[in-house]
Amino acid sequence: MSLKGRNFLTLKDFTKEEIYEFLELAKELKEKKKQGIFDRMYQGKNIALIFEKTSTRTRCSFEIAAHDMGIGTTYLDSKLSQMGKKESIADTARVLGRMYDGIEYRGFGQDVVEELAKYAGVPVWNGLTNEYHPTQMLADMLTIREHLGDLEGKKLVYMGDARYNMGNSLMIACAKMGMHFVAAAPKKYFPEDELVKECRRFAMESGATITFEEDPFRAVAGADIIYTDVWVSMGEPDEVWEERIRELTPYKVTMDIMNSANENAIFLHCLPAFHDLKTEIGKEMGERFSLTEMEVTDEVFQKYSDVVFDEAENRMHTIKAVIAATLG
């Protein structure tokens, strides 16, 4: 099945071969951009970028990727568009589908991006929902390939709240690509059973494994990739900070954790990261709970910063591949 005209809502909808197609295209587009070669193959097309949550990487990636390919963009945020307040998702999709050749959506429920896709008649790309963050997965997989080679057989350990977009998406990506996924957290932070079952079906085909481990040091033994994300995600209430800090601190990525993984293990983080107190929230939590960092120590973050910022750069090359492959 061709990728043309397809929506990009979750990696569950794609085969391993199709995911490799996106990754190969991203690699090619990255090399071309480094050489200053741009195929303005989509000159005259336009895409809409809907952001109901804040963003640095995803928004910039879509805008630069589009610009590099000759595509026009319109940024719509929840405060300044009619979507939701005065106009239904379905009607918004039908309007935008008449004007634009593709639509990116970042926001809350996966049901919203699915509703947009149902009515738009043009490809819809998920730029992050509460449940999934599929464009981030392509950047992560590209970065792993660049630093460690083959994806198959690699062990990725996700430390922290594995029930949310990042934990869910990494479990799906690993299951599809034949990797060994481990979520390290207290039990209540493990992904939902239904999704685990679905991923175990993908794993049967690919040779992947999916396991859950409450002991952080047991989890990271033999790991090739240690991954973490913020403990409280966008859209979650401030009241959960205290509980998250208390329950997830044992899963903070420290040098001891990194030293317990494989010798050439890498550290990845989707970013933004609370590795110091140089942010408003970091400072506030630092003062309230006497912390100097949260999900990762500054020492680990700085040691692996080349990999982490490769990962951030790769958001753009992989998002460009998604647009290029799916745009009609």
> Using CA atoms, how far apart are residues 165 and 185, in angstroms rounded to an integer?
15
Q: Does 203 bind ligand CP (CB under 6 A)?
A: no
- Could you say whether residue 279 binds ligand CP (CB under 6 A)? no
Which residue among 166, 208, 257, 308 contacts ligand NVA (CB under 6 A)? Answer: 166
171 binds ligand NVA (CB under 6 A): no
Residue closer to ligand CP by CB (options 32, 147) is 147
126 binds, among ligand NVA, ligand CP, none (CB under 5 to 8 A by kind): none
d(CA 173, CA 267): 17
CA pair distance 125, 128, nearest whole angstrom = 9
Choice from 14, 51, 105, 164 touching ligand NVA (CB under 6 A): 164
As annotated, the active-site residues are 106, 133, 136, 229, 270, 315
Strand ranges for 29-170 from DSSP E:
46-51, 72-77, 102-106, 124-126, 155-159
Nearest approach, Cβ of 124 to ligand CP (angstroms)? 17
Is residue 306 within 8 Å of 14, Cβ to Cβ?
no
Which residues ranging from 232 to 271 are in contact with ligand CP (CB under 6 A)?
270-271
Phi, psi (degrees; rounded to nearest 5) at 217: -75, -35
- For position 319 contacting ligand NVA by CB under 6 A, the verdict is no
**Cβ-based nearer residue to ligand NVA, 233 or 254:** 233
User: What distance in Å separates the CA atoms of residue 278 and residue 117, rounded to the nearest whole number?
Assistant: 38
Q: How far apart are CA 273 and CA 287, in angstroms?
A: 17
CA distance 72 to 201: 40
Tell me: cis bond preceding 272? Omega within 30 of 0 counts: yes
DSSP SS3 for 316: helix
For residue 196, the partner it binds in ligand NVA, ligand CP, none, with Cβ less than 5 to 8 A by kind, is none
- State phi, psi for 67 to the nearest 5 degrees: -60, -45
- Asked if residue 320 lies in contact with residue 42, where contact means CB atoms within 8 angstroms, the answer is no
For ligand NVA, which residue of 64, 148, 196, 234 counts as binding (CB under 6 A)? 234
Regarding 128 and contact with ligand CP (CB under 6 A), the answer is yes
Tell me if 327 contacts ligand NVA by CB under 6 A: no
CB of 301 to ligand CP, least distance (A): 15
Return the residue of 74, 110, 206, 233 that touches ligand NVA, per CB under 6 A: 233
Question: Which of ligand NVA, ligand CP, none binds 245 (CB below 5-8 Å, type-dependent)?
Answer: none
Q: Which of 6, 47, 48, 58 binds ligand CP (CB under 6 A)?
A: 58
Count of residues interacting with ligand CP (CB under 6 A): 8
